[in-house]
A and B are shown apart, each in its own frame.
Chain A
Amino acid sequence: MRQIPARMRVRYTKTGRIRYTSQRDNARAWERALRRARLPVAYSEGFSPRPLLSFSLALPTGCESQAEYTDLRFGHAPEGAADFEVGTSWDEGDVNEIAHRLGELLPEGLDVISACSLLGSEGSLQEEVTSCSWIVEVAGMGATELTERVESLLGAAHVPIERVRKAKKVTDDLRPSVLSLTMEGQGASPGALRLRAELATKPRGVRPAELLGGIDPTLTLVRASRTAQWIEVEGGRLEPLTADGRLLGTTAPQATECGR
């Protein structure tokens, strides 16, 4: 039987109609695809075992993405239940092949771009990702006015926004989370204007809708697409896995090139 690493990271998109599903739906789609692929998926313990999958920051329902990540874990599967086994002598080409096989089993719009084995010493995607890049298309305001609002937000020391957290209304300062924000003119959607933003994920992520609330509550969200997720490494920023399959952005010291 062919061997596979115990852990691997997959980069994929979420585009088209499937963007209207939730993060939870996304996880379930992955679970079904993994079972169909006959991979020796590792499961949690307990009364209701679930495949051990970890995702990067939840993508809000309705948003598209060019840069979603899932870390997969494999373990022992009973005889006859899987076509691969976990071992140490795997071929990185097989890792890619498995990822693309999964891509075919995932619903349309969840398209696998690249994959890479992990050593196991990498931090979790949730902990490591520090910011995300977004393209946000909005309506409800002219170009000049929107440019002014963007400048005024960038010039402000504090931008209070109301959010609901654990069923309670809280006021957070949006400003420190907006690492960059530019108005780029006409968007692709008819009548929409396009903003480009980099939003910090610590201490907690900012959703595109919340960004709009901070710019001007009358704006409506037409389209939002996450174009990248970033990990801060020694002052620079790198992706958790590049589109061409290089594992560059991790704080784990030894893992800079494809896990091994």
Chain B
Amino acid sequence: MPSLFEKIEPLLFAVEKPARYVGGELGAQSPTHGAGIVSWLLAYPDTYEIGLPNQGLQILYEIINERADAAAERTYAPWTDMERSMRAEGIELFSVENHLPAHEFDIIAFNLSAELTYTNLLNMLDLGRIPMRTEHRGANDTIVVAGGHCTYNPEPLADFLDAVVLGDGEEVVSEITEVVGRWRVISAADRHRVILHRALAQIPGVYVPSLYRPLFDGPIQVGLEILDPAAPSVVEKRTVADLGEWPYPMNQLVPLTEVVHDRLNVEVFRGCTRGCRFCQAGMITRPVRERPAAQVAEMVARGIERTGYDEVTLTSLSTADFSDIEGIVTGIVDDPAHGGRVSVSLPSLRVDAFTVGTAAKIQQVKRTGLTFAPEGGTWRMRKVINKLISDDDLFAAVDAAFSQGWRRVKLYFLIGLPTETDDDVLGIARLGQRCVEIGRQYHQNVTVSASVGGFVPKPQTPFQWHGQDTTEELTRKVNLLRGAAKATRGLQIRWHEPAATAAEGIVSRGDRRLGAVLEQVWRSGGTFQEWSEHFDLSKFTQALEDHGLSMEDYTTRVRDVDEVLPWDHLSAGLHKDFLVGEYHDSIAEVGVEDCRWTPCYDCGACTTFGIEHVVASNEPPAGGSQGTGQGLDLGVPVPVSLGRPGG
């Protein structure tokens, strides 16, 4: 394969952040390609600085490159200035290692983490000179694959993807490599794409959209036709049972230029059973699988020594829940080799004073703001969404933060949640005001910032049937909240653009008809839609209208629980009656406890796959309502449902 670097280099003086395009990271590999080697191009459909830190791609990068029969390079979406130059000079999408053209790879595999990046995926295929629609690809064209959280409803991109991976990718990349390796050596005359598609569909966790045809009646999908006997009626996700067997990435990439999350990242567990009903990640990644503490310690120590980073983030969906989290962080902070210069950050703090105490201990080195996510403004709302944090626990956590020196506290909320009233929205301002008052007892000037995002219902969650708020309603609620917060000095309200929430909502629960819509959005220049300077809702509404579809049918329409959903044939293991039961419980304001420490609710995640939670300690964390629930008697009593009624 020919390197494009000589053609790329003359463009680099004139573009913003040219380091995005040159590779050279510590840990980057320089694989050799050739006969008998299946080549992967791992792609992130956003800029280099957003995509590089993606741990999923870094894990697969190492696993693929360890294989003698495979090689992996990486690519990211070129920013608009670079894209213009590349198109003007006839340069195709390239890898950052050897600067090889995308269409020379056997497989291009995208990580899908956000709906608004979908048009970037289309743009990258076009820029890579890979036929955009699966039906137009021939025997020698690159195979287009996607993985990541958004693939639990890949239907909006189904027309463009040869295969979609559900769940953990550690094992499945090897199985795909072997299938593609065998397909590649079939003689050209017989190498039909459908042979590949059938073979891929035999791999557990791999969904091949071209083998299925959805049926529509008016605004809704009414069925799904399976076009090939090789295609399973339901594709189940893949789950790695023991994270300890996969200590990746072993050589985290250290980029030459600044990126987001620019520090050592060590994944301490996968999965979350807190059961927040709005949270797709918590639903689709079950059960909880902790990495052995000794392995965490070793990965941190080796990572710090190898990279020179002075900050490590212990990643997971709820890191404070890791068994003996205190022991782990103390071990890192007190390691003499670090000389007191290495700080630890926890991406998500549990809301209780105990956790703040730990945070104070570990952030002696660098102390930034503290962030809590109560998500709902009232206890009623938090029971609906099953985020069981009492007001008192939030106040105790905030009190602990201010008393231990912090002056800035950030709170995350959602609006547009099921059953939400104006009082629930105003509750956000009331909580914020109380937090400011608490802070004033310790400091003259404190800042409490409440970030408010519009809720987008996600597939494979109990809220997948919920009607999203209109942009007008979200705007009204934001204004209501801003009005209520105005009088409190030190309380800042920040909000996510409601129009972007609408666009995300269209795609989140979209069906296969959105393929043509996304293609039109892309053709009208709609790339980088998650960047506010490029976002344009009218491109989406226009494209929907041109295809006889409406935004309301996808976003604000309440689905019937018996309606066929476009992702019904894709499974994260969760039983539909569990999701329906949770949906009904939410309307009835009934919360459920974390199943790590309480009886099983039979959601299906463990039983479907014959796996279990992997936790080092069966003891729930001490203190606070997010622990065993002993804090809950401080607030309104919560009726806890154990098991489904009648089930």
List which A53-90 residues lie within 8 A (CB) of chain B.
61-62, 77-82
Cβ–Cβ < 8 Å partners of A222 in chain B: 10, 13
Residues A77 and B254 in contact in the complex (CB < 8 Å), given A17-B23, A20-B12, A35-B308: no
List which A3-23 residues lie within 8 A (CB) of chain B.
17-18, 20-22
Minimum-distance CB pairs A-B, first 4 = A81-B339, A32-B308, A80-B336, A20-B18
- Interface flags, B551-578, vs A, CB<8A=1, else 0: 0000000000000000000000000000
Residues A62 and B13 in contact in the complex (CB < 8 Å), given A25-B258, A35-B341, A80-B337: yes
Q: Give chain B nearest CB distance to A173 CB in angstroms.
A: 25
Report the separation of the CA atoms of residues A31 and B19 in the bound assembly, to the nearest whole angstrom. Answer: 18
B18 interface neighbour in A32, A34, A61, Cβ under 8 Å? A61
Report the separation of the CA atoms of residues A105 and B26 in the bound assembly, to the nearest whole angstrom. Answer: 10
Residues A32 and B24 in contact in the complex (CB < 8 Å), given A25-B258, A62-B18: no
A48 interface neighbour in B13, B336, B337, B366, Cβ under 8 Å? B366
Contact B308 A36 (CB under 8 A): yes
Contact B336 A32 (CB under 8 A): no
Cβ–Cβ < 8 Å partners of B13 in chain A: 62, 220-222
Tell me the count of chain A residues lying within 8 A, CB to CB, of chain B.
Answer: 34
* Residue A97 lies at the interface, judged by CB distance under 8 Å to chain B: no
* Residue A33 lies at the interface, judged by CB distance under 8 Å to chain B: yes
Contact B339 A82 (CB under 8 A): yes
Tell me the count of chain B residues lying within 8 A, CB to CB, of chain A.
Answer: 30
Contact A43 B258 (CB under 8 A): no
Report the separation of the CA atoms of residues A21 and B336 in the bound assembly, to the nearest whole angstrom. Answer: 33
Report the separation of the CA atoms of residues A25 and B22 in the bound assembly, to the nearest whole angstrom. Answer: 14
* Additional pairs, 15, CB under 8 Å, beyond known A18-B22, A36-B306, A79-B336: A18-B256, A20-B18, A20-B19, A20-B22, A22-B257, A25-B258, A35-B309, A35-B341, A36-B308, A49-B365, A78-B340, A105-B308, A107-B24, A221-B13, A222-B13
Report the separation of the CA atoms of residues A233 and B257 in the bound assembly, to the nearest whole angstrom. Answer: 36
* Residue B475 lies at the interface, judged by CB distance under 8 Å to chain A: no
* Residue B338 lies at the interface, judged by CB distance under 8 Å to chain A: yes
* Residue A257 lies at the interface, judged by CB distance under 8 Å to chain B: no
Report the separation of the CA atoms of residues A113 and B65 in the bound assembly, to the nearest whole angstrom. Answer: 34
- Interface flags, A41-53, vs B, CB<8A=1, else 0: 0010001110000
A21 interface neighbour in B254, B256, B310, B341, Cβ under 8 Å? B256
Residues A36 and B305 in contact in the complex (CB < 8 Å), given A21-B257, A49-B365, A81-B336: yes
Contact A108 B339 (CB under 8 A): no
Cβ–Cβ < 8 Å partners of A170 in chain B: none
* Residue B113 lies at the interface, judged by CB distance under 8 Å to chain A: no
Contact A107 B256 (CB under 8 A): yes
Report the separation of the CA atoms of residues A21 and B258 in the bound assembly, to the nearest whole angstrom. Answer: 9
Contact B18 A33 (CB under 8 A): no
A-B contact pairs, 17 of them (CB 8 A): A18-B22, A20-B21, A21-B257, A25-B256, A28-B258, A32-B309, A35-B308, A35-B309, A47-B366, A49-B341, A61-B19, A77-B339, A78-B336, A81-B336, A81-B341, A105-B308, A109-B24
Report the separation of the CA atoms of residues A222 and B310 in the bound assembly, to the nearest whole angstrom. Answer: 37
Report the separation of the CA atoms of residues A25 and B256 in the bound assembly, to the nearest whole angstrom. Answer: 7
* Residue A24 lies at the interface, judged by CB distance under 8 Å to chain B: yes
Q: Give chain A nearest CB distance to B365 CB in angstroms.
A: 7
Contact A24 B341 (CB under 8 A): no
Contact B308 A17 (CB under 8 A): no
Report the separation of the CA atoms of residues A24 and B22 in the bound assembly, to the nearest whole angstrom. Answer: 17
Cβ–Cβ < 8 Å partners of B336 in chain A: 78-81
Q: Give chain A nearest CB distance to B304 CB in angstroms.
A: 8
Which residue of A has the minimal Cβ distance to B25?
A107
Q: Give chain B nearest CB distance to A121 CB in angstroms.
A: 29
Which residue of B has the minimal Cβ distance to A26?
B256
Q: Give chain A nearest CB distance to B81 CB in angstroms.
A: 14
* Residue B367 lies at the interface, judged by CB distance under 8 Å to chain A: yes
Which residue of A has the minimal Cβ distance to B307?
A32
Report the separation of the CA atoms of residues A33 and B310 in the bound assembly, to the nearest whole angstrom. Answer: 11
A35 interface neighbour in B18, B23, B310, Cβ under 8 Å? B310
List which B200-253 residues lie within 8 A (CB) of chain A.
none
Which residue of B has the minimal Cβ distance to A24?
B258
Report the separation of the CA atoms of residues A18 and B21 in the bound assembly, to the nearest whole angstrom. Answer: 11
Report the separation of the CA atoms of residues A24 and B262 in the bound assembly, to the nearest whole angstrom. Answer: 14
Q: Give chain B nearest CB distance to A187 CB in angstroms.
A: 13
Cβ–Cβ < 8 Å partners of B337 in chain A: 80-81
* Residue A252 lies at the interface, judged by CB distance under 8 Å to chain B: no
Contact B310 A107 (CB under 8 A): no
Cβ–Cβ < 8 Å partners of A48 in chain B: 366
Cβ–Cβ < 8 Å partners of A25 in chain B: 19, 256-258
Which residue of B has the minimal Cβ distance to A60?
B13
Contact B24 A17 (CB under 8 A): yes
Residues A18 and B24 in contact in the complex (CB < 8 Å), given A28-B258, A62-B18, A78-B336: yes
* Residue A179 lies at the interface, judged by CB distance under 8 Å to chain B: no
Q: Give chain B nearest CB distance to A86 CB in angstroms.
A: 14
Q: Give chain A nearest CB distance to B135 CB in angstroms.
A: 39
* Residue A29 lies at the interface, judged by CB distance under 8 Å to chain B: yes
Contact A43 B19 (CB under 8 A): no
